[in-house]
Chain A
C-alpha cells in the first residue's frame, strides 16, 4: 500500500521546455479555449471573418499562455490512495493513513466529543480555514482549523438547526428556533431575519450575497445580505423539507421533497425552473459536483442516483442509502449512513463511481452531515456526539488561488477582498440554469402581446389618421358642416371598431376551478365506495 502525496515540485521555467511540451499542453489549452470557435467558412461578411479570425488567434494565444502558467505555477497535483495487489483502498484505515502522511497532515483528523448539546452541524469558510459548529441545543463555536484555536464559543439557548458562513469568517448565519440570526465572529447578534420564519436549512450564495433559507412551511426566502433586501419569497407548495443544496456552478438552489421530487429555484422566478421526479420516496440528500454537471440524489427508496443536470437524465443508479452527501472539490463523493461514512470515487472520469474509502464512527453515533474541507484532504463529519474529521487523500484542490480563496489571508487582504467581492456582486437575475447564455440573443417569445401602452398608442395613431381624412366637396347640401362632422365622426368610430376587432385580446380561458372531490391515495382506494 502506498499513500502518495505529491508535494511541491518546482520545475525549471525554461523556454526550451515550451517547444517540447506543446502537445502536452494542448488539452489544458483546450480547456481554456472554452469550446470551439465559430465556423468562419460559413460567414459571408469578409470583414467580420477577418476580425473573428484575428480574435480566434488571440484566444488561442491566451489559452496557451494560461495553460503554460498553470503548468508552471500550479505544479502540485492531488494525491490518492493506491492499492497494491489484492489490497482494497476501502480497507485502509485512518490509522494506517496517519502513519504515512506528514506531520501537518497528521494533525488534521480529530474527534471532538460533545455529548450534551446534541447532533452537530458545521460549515467551512470558502477557504477552508475556519469551521463553524452548531449544536442542536444552542451551542455555537468557531474554530480556526489551521491553528486549531477556538475563536468564539457561545450558547444561544435555542434550537439551532443549521449554521452557515457568509462571505467570510466575520459573519455567519444561524438557523434558530424561530428565525435565522446573523452573528459576527465575536458572537454579537447583528441581525434577526424575521421575514424568513423558522428556518430548517440555510445556504449562502457568495457571488450574489444571497442568504437562502427554507422554512418549516416550505417557503423559500432569498435575502440580499449586502442590502438587506428580500429578493425572493416563494412557497414551494411541496411540503416541509430540509434538503437544500446549492449548485456551485450556477448558484441555483435545489430542494429535495418528500414526494421524491427535486426542484431547482432561482431568486427571480416564483415557480421552480426544473422539477424532477428522482425517487419514489422522500429525498434524503442532495449533492452537486463542482463542475455543475453532476448531481447526486439519495432517496428513502434505498437508491442513490447520479444525474446529468444538463440533460436531466440518470447516469447511474446505485442501491444504497445515504443520510447526507457531499462532493469534494476533486469530485469524490462522501455518503453517510447511520454511523458509517463511505467515500466514492470516479477513477476514470466516466461517472462510474466506486467505493474508495470507508470509515465507521463509534456505533450509535448518528451522522448528520458530511462535508469536505476546501483545499484540504479532509472530510468533516458532524454527528450526534460531536464533530470528527478524517483524512481523505485526493479530495481537495491542491492549489488554492489567493484571488479566490486564500486560507492564509491577512486582515488587509480580507478587507480588500470583501470590497472587491461587493463590487463584483452579481445581481440575482444572473442566476440561471446556463449562465453562459448571458449576453446571447434571447430565444424568440411565443407570443408577444403588445403592452397596454403600445395598444393605446396604436389606437391613437389610427384615430388620428382617420381624423385627417379629407372629404370631397359635394353638392346639394351633402357637404353641410353638420353632415361633414357626422361623417368624420363615423369614420373615426369605424376606425376604432376595426382596430378593436383586430386587436381583440384573446382571452385566456379562466383557470379551471380546482375540482373539490378528493381522490383517495392509491393504497386507500380499495376502501372507497364504488359509484354505481
Chain B
C-alpha cells in the first residue's frame, strides 16, 4: 500500500509541471481504478498480454493497461479528451472487411478457471488492491498460506523466510515498473537542478522546444536507404580500388613480370642441409663418431700425413681379405664354368631329363610343401586369368594372324606344330573354366576329336572319310546359291564363276565317288588287309584334289578384295590353289603312300613349270621391248645429233658477235661432234629436240634486231596471261539470227556492258601492277605457293595496322644480329617464374603513378641478372659486323 501511495504522489508532482495531457492521464487512471474493481472479473483475460510467467520474471506489474480497457475508459470520459482515438478498425470487425488479425497466442476459454496455480495477476491484485477486493481472493490467500506452511514443515525454516521473498519481489517490481512506464519527462530530470546556475536558461530552452511541434520524420523507404548505402559503398570501394590502379598498370605495362621471385628456402645447398644434420639412430651416431673423430679431423686439418698412419691395416687382415676374395672369385668362376658347360650341352635327351627332374622336384615339393603348392596354384590361376584376359595363345598374335592369313596349309611342319602347340596351351589354360562349368563333359567331347585324330586306326579313317563325304555334300548344296549383286553380278564374272562351279562340282562328284570307293576299300581292307599301296596313293591324290571344293566356298571373298581382276587372274588363283593342294597332299600323303608324293610333286612341278614358262615369256617380251627401244633410241640418235650440230652452229652464229674469244664455241662444237655415245641419247632433254624450221632459223640469225618491239610483245603476252583480256562479244546464235534482227539491233546492251566492265576491270588491274609505269620491265605477279608459308594470312591479334606490325618485326632479335648485352632484354619472356614456386597474390605497395614503370622494375631486374660475360661481349662485337 505504501508503494501505491508513492506512485500517486509522484503523479501529482508530474501534474505540477506537465501540460494538460498528463493531467488527463492521471484522471483516467484514477477513474479506471474505480471502474476496474467492478469489471475485474470479466475483463481480465481479454486483449494481448504477456504470459504471466514472463511478467513475473520481469517483475512487471500490470502497468500497461490492455487496449480494450483503455478504449472503454476513453469512452467514458469522452468529454475530457480533445482527441479521441478511435478504436482500430481492424478490431471493430465491421462486416469482416478487414483481415482478421491472427492471434497466435493460445487463448483459454472464457469459463476456464485455473485454480491450482495462482496466477501472478492475482498476486498483483492481491498486493495492489488489498483493501478493495480481498474477499474474492480469500481462498487463494489461504492456499498460499498453506503452501508456506507446507514449505515450513518440509524445510523447517520459519514462515517469514518465505513471505519475505515475496515482499522483496513486490518492491522490486514496483521500482522497475516506474521505469518500464517511461513516464520520466525531461522536467523530472530537470527537477533536481532547480536553483543551480543555468537552470533558468535550460528551462527556457526546453519551453521553446516544446512550443515548436517536434514531428518525428518517417524513416526513408528501404529501397532508398539501400540505394544510399550502395552509393556510399561504391564510393568507398572505388577509392579502395583506385589505390591499386598504378600497381596494376605497372604490371600490365611491364615487359616482363617476375613472379615468385622472393623465396627463401632457408637452406640453399646440400652443404647447409648436411651441416644441420644430427645423428639420431645408433648407426648414425656411430658414423658421426667415426667421422667426427678428433684425431682424424686433426689429421685432416694438418697436412694429412698422419692420415696414412691412421690408415694402417695389419698384414693378417689384408691376407684374410685377399684369401676370402680369391675364394669367392674361384667359386664364382667355377659356377660360371659349370653353367656354361650345361648351357653348351646340345643333347636333347639330357635337357629332357633335366626338365623332367625339375618337374619332378617341383611336384615333389608341391606334395611336400603346402605353401609351395599354394604358390604354384596361385601362379597357375594367374596365368589362366591372364590368358582369359589377353587370349594370348588364341592365334591373336601378329605371327599367328599372318600364318592364318597365308593359309595354314602353306606352312611348313614346324610352324604348324608351333601353332598347334599354342592352341593347346590356350586350351590348357582355359580348360579349368570349362571343367568347372560343364563338369568335364566338354572335355570328353574335345578328347573325342583328338582321339579320333590320334588313333589313326582304320575305323578312324573311315570316320574321317564319312565326314569328308558329308562335308562335300553340304558344300555342293551350298554352291547353288549365286551372288546376285555386286561385282559378281556382272555377266563375265558370273560366267567365270559358273565355270568354276562346274569344275568344282565335277571334282566334288569325283571326290564323292572316291570317298565311297575308298570306304568300300576300307571295309574290304578290314576284311582282307592286303591291298596295293599304289592305288590308294592315287586315290589320295584325287581325294586331295577334291579339296578345291572347300576353297571354292572361300573364293568369293578373295574376289571381293580385288574386283577389277579379270578371268586370267581367277585362273591363276586356281592354279595357285592347285599348287597348294598338291603341297598339302604331299604333306598328308606320304605316311600312307610314298608314290603318291611323287605324283603330287610332279603336278606341282608342272604347275611351276607353267608359271616359269609364262614368266619367261613375259621377261623375254620385256627384254625384247627394251632391246627394241634401245635400238630405236640408237637409231633415232643420229639425226638428232646432226640437229644438235646444226643448232650449235646456229648458236655460234648468234653468239659469234658477242663472243670475242671464239675458241670456246669452236671447242664445244668439236666436242659435240664426238658425242655419239649411248649416254646422251638417254638424256630426256635432248630427245624432245625438234628440227627448227627455216623461219625459226632466220629468226635466230637475226635475233636482237628489234629488241624493244619484241619486249613489248612479250610484255603484252605476259599481261594477257596474268590478266586475261575479256572475250569480245559476238552475235548470239539462236533467236533472231536468221531474220537479221539481231544483226540490225546489234548485240544486247547487257553483253556489251559486261564486256565494258570486264575491260575496265582489266585496265584497273593492269594499272595496279608494279610494272605499269615501267615500260621496259615485266614484274611477275604470280604467287609462289611454296613461299606462301613464309607469310602470314592475317594480322596477328593485337595489331590493327599492317604498317605497325611490319615495323615491329623489322629488327631481328637473334644473337647473330645483336650485341650480347641486349639479347637478354630483347628475348626475355613475358613472365619469368621458377617451376614449382608458389605465386603469391599481388601485394599493395605505394608507387608513384607518374613514374616510369621500368624504373620501379629496374632494381629487381638487376638483382637477377648475372654479370655479362666478357667473352660474350667480344663475340657479340664480332657478330655486329655480320649485320652490315
Instruction: Name A's B-contacting residues (CB within 8 A).
Output: 31-39, 42-45, 47-48, 50-52, 54-55, 58-59, 61-62, 65-66, 69-70, 72-74, 118-119, 136, 159, 161, 177-178, 194, 197-198, 216-217, 219, 239-240, 258-261, 266, 268-269, 271-282, 284, 300, 312-313, 323, 338, 366, 368, 384, 399-404, 428-430, 432, 436-442, 445-446, 508-509, 511, 518, 520-524
Contact = CB atoms under 8 A, between A and B. Distances in A.
Interface string B667-698: 11001000100001001010000000001101
A35 B699 CA distance: 49
Interchain residue pairs A-B with the least CB separation, the first 10: A442-B791, A62-B822, A69-B877, A38-B807, A518-B695, A277-B776, A521-B702, A73-B877, A38-B804, A522-B706
B724 A440 contact: no
B40 interface: no
B805 A74 contact: no
12 contacts: A48-B798, A239-B703, A260-B704, A269-B782, A275-B778, A276-B777, A280-B707, A280-B708, A399-B881, A403-B882, A442-B792, A522-B709
B189 interface: no
A118 B666 CA distance: 13
A423 to B, nearest CB: 12
Nearest to A118: B663
Contacts of A216: 648, 651, 668
Contact of B711 (A261, A284, A437, A438): A261
B787 A268 contact: yes
Nearest to B801: A42
B784 A269 contact: yes
Tier of interface size on chain B: 35 or more
Contact of B780 (A261, A271, A441): A271
B655 A441 contact: no
A266 B385 CA distance: 67
B818 interface: yes
Contact of A240 (B655, B718, B883): B655
B819 A65 contact: yes
A399 B878 CA distance: 10
B786 interface: yes
A440 B806 contact: yes
Nearest to B677: A178
B704 A69 contact: no
A438 B798 contact: no
Interface string B527-566: 0000000000000000000000000000000000000000
B657 A282 contact: yes
B705 interface: yes
Interface stretch (B416-424, B458-466, B808-816): B808-816
B703 A51 contact: no
Given A216-B651, A274-B778, A442-B791, A259 B711 contact: yes
A355 B703 CA distance: 33
A136 B793 CA distance: 51
A190 B795 CA distance: 48
A54 B792 contact: no
A258 B810 contact: no
Given A38-B803, A274-B779, A159 B881 contact: no
A58 B822 contact: yes
Given A48-B799, A73-B877, 15 more contacts: A35-B807, A39-B803, A58-B826, A61-B825, A65-B821, A69-B877, A70-B880, A177-B668, A240-B651, A259-B710, A300-B657, A300-B658, A430-B790, A441-B794, A522-B709
Contacts of B810: 34-35, 436
A258 B780 contact: no
A52 B667 CA distance: 64
Given A33-B811, A260-B707, A521-B698, A276 B798 contact: no
B880 to A, nearest CB: 5
A33 B805 CA distance: 16
B729 to A, nearest CB: 13
B510 interface: no
A31 to B, nearest CB: 7
A73 B811 contact: no
Interface in B755-793: 765, 771, 774, 776-780, 782-784, 786-793
Q: Which of B252, B651, B807 has the most CB of A within 10 A?
A: B807
Contacts of B884: 31, 70
Given A269-B784, A277-B776, A74 B663 contact: no
Nearest to A266: B784
Contact of B807 (A37, A194, A269, A402): A37
Interface of B is mostly: helix
B880 A66 contact: yes
Contacts of B804: 38-39, 42-43, 52
A511 B664 CA distance: 40
B155 interface: no
A54 B253 contact: yes
Contacts of A39: 803-804
Contact of B664 (A161, A281, A313, A432): A161
B221 to A, nearest CB: 43
Contacts of A430: 787, 790
Interface string B631-654: 000000000000000001001001
B783 A445 contact: yes
A313 B773 CA distance: 11
A47 B799 CA distance: 11
A401 B791 contact: no
B778 A69 contact: no
B708 A277 contact: yes
Contacts of A508: 724
Contacts of B705: 521-523
B778 A32 contact: no
A404 B881 contact: yes
B777 A275 contact: yes
B704 A518 contact: no
A503 B733 CA distance: 25
A469 B699 CA distance: 68
Nearest to B667: A159
A522 to B, nearest CB: 4
A31 B807 CA distance: 15
A170 to B, nearest CB: 22
Contacts of B800: 43-45
A268 B780 contact: no
Given A197-B685, A439-B791, A509 B727 contact: yes
A312 B704 contact: no
A404 B782 contact: no
A429 B786 CA distance: 6
Contact of A259 (B703, B787, B791, B805): B703
B808 A401 contact: no
Nearest to A440: B806
Contacts of B695: 518
B511 interface: no
Contacts of B252: 47, 50
A521 B776 contact: no
Contacts of A69: 819, 873, 876-877, 880
A61 B721 CA distance: 50
B246 interface: no
Nearest to B791: A442
A34 B811 contact: yes
Contacts of A197: 683, 685
A51 B708 CA distance: 53
A528 to B, nearest CB: 12
A33 B811 CA distance: 7
Given A269-B784, A521-B705, A62 B878 contact: no
B356 interface: no
A401 B698 contact: no
Given A219-B685, A275-B778, A441 B882 contact: no
Contact of B654 (A194, A258, A509, A511): A258
A368 B663 CA distance: 12
A131 to B, nearest CB: 21
B369 to A, nearest CB: 66
B701 to A, nearest CB: 8
